[in-house]
């Protein structure tokens, strides 16, 4: 379902700093704009509460996940809160295995081909190319030449509506959007405007 959601709209919302009391309103505007994968990093305030609220508030075709997942124990808490996707900044095999054992979708962070192959071996559903601003579209193209056919590579870090085309041309199938989409303190209206700009840019390239 994760790959299907990204095929519909390859944009992943990363809501670092989200507060539970604003989760439903922010989730609503993102869903209305077309987002179908929303991630709450665990270094946000009360992240498990926000994950629970988003899961209850949004339709089933929107996947809710957690980012900055660092331990197997956090994987279990995410699942208990209703989260469906585990997103990591790194590729710790213990966390990957815990996520697969829990039946959750998995998007580990990779910065080398060695990490990418190892993560796929552990069952990663999509690979998070992080940090994308350090790597660039040339890395996407080079990796996809050697990774298994069908591998989904999603750059994260510094992605704007204006720089997506070069990554898509290189073969990227999705993007994680952080502070360019949502910063703590933004109103739902501001997030909606930002979300629409990203979705318009994505749609124009497909």
Q: Are residues 30 and 12 in contact, defined by beta-carbon separation less than 8 angstroms?
A: no
Place of tokens 């050697």: 146
* Closest C-alpha to 204, from 4, 27, 10: 10
Backbone φ/ψ region at 64: left (φ over 0), alpha (ψ -120 to 50), beta: beta
Residue 175 host element (H or E):
strand 175-177
Catalytic annotation present for 121: no
Out of 22, 79, 122, 128, the active site residue is 128
* Closest C-alpha to 136, from 158, 151, 108: 158
Catalytic annotation present for 128: yes
Q: Is the peptide bond before 131 cis (omega within 30 degrees of 0)?
A: yes
Per DSSP, the three-state class of 104 is coil
202: Cβ–Cβ under 8 A, 6 or more apart, which residues? 9, 10, 11, 164, 175
Out of 22, 39, 79, 122, the active site residue is 39
Strands (E), 17-174: 37-41, 63-67, 85-87, 105-107, 109-110, 127-129, 153-155
Q: Are residues 44 and 23 in contact, defined by beta-carbon separation less than 8 angstroms?
A: no
Enumerate the active-site residues. 39, 128
């Amino acid at each position: 379902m994760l790959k299907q959601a990204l095929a519909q709209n390859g944009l992943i919302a990363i809501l670092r700093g989200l507060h539970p009391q604003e989760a439903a309103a922010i989730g609503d505007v993102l869903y209305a704009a077309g987002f179908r994968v929303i991630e709450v990093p665990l270094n946000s305030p009360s992240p498990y509460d926000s994950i629970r609220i988003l899961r209850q508030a949004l339709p089933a075709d929107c996947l809710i996940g957690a980012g900055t997942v660092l331990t197997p124990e956090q994987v279990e808490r995410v699942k208990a809160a209703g989260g469906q996707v585990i997103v990591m900044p790194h590729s710790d095999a213990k966390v990957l295995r815990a996520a697969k054992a829990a039946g959750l979708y998995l998007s580990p962070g990779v910065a080398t081909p060695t990490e990418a192959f190892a993560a796929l071996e552990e069952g990663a559903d999509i690979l998070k190319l992080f940090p994308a601003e350090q790597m660039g579209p040339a890395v996407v193209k080079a990796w996809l030449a050697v990774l298994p056919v069908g591998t989904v590579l999603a750059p994260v870090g510094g992605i704007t509506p204006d720089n997506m085309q070069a990554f898509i041309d290189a073969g990227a199938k999705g993007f994680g959007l952080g502070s360019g989409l949502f910063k703590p303190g933004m109103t739902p209206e501001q997030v909606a405007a930002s979300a629409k700009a990203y979705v318009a840019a994505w749609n124009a390239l497909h």
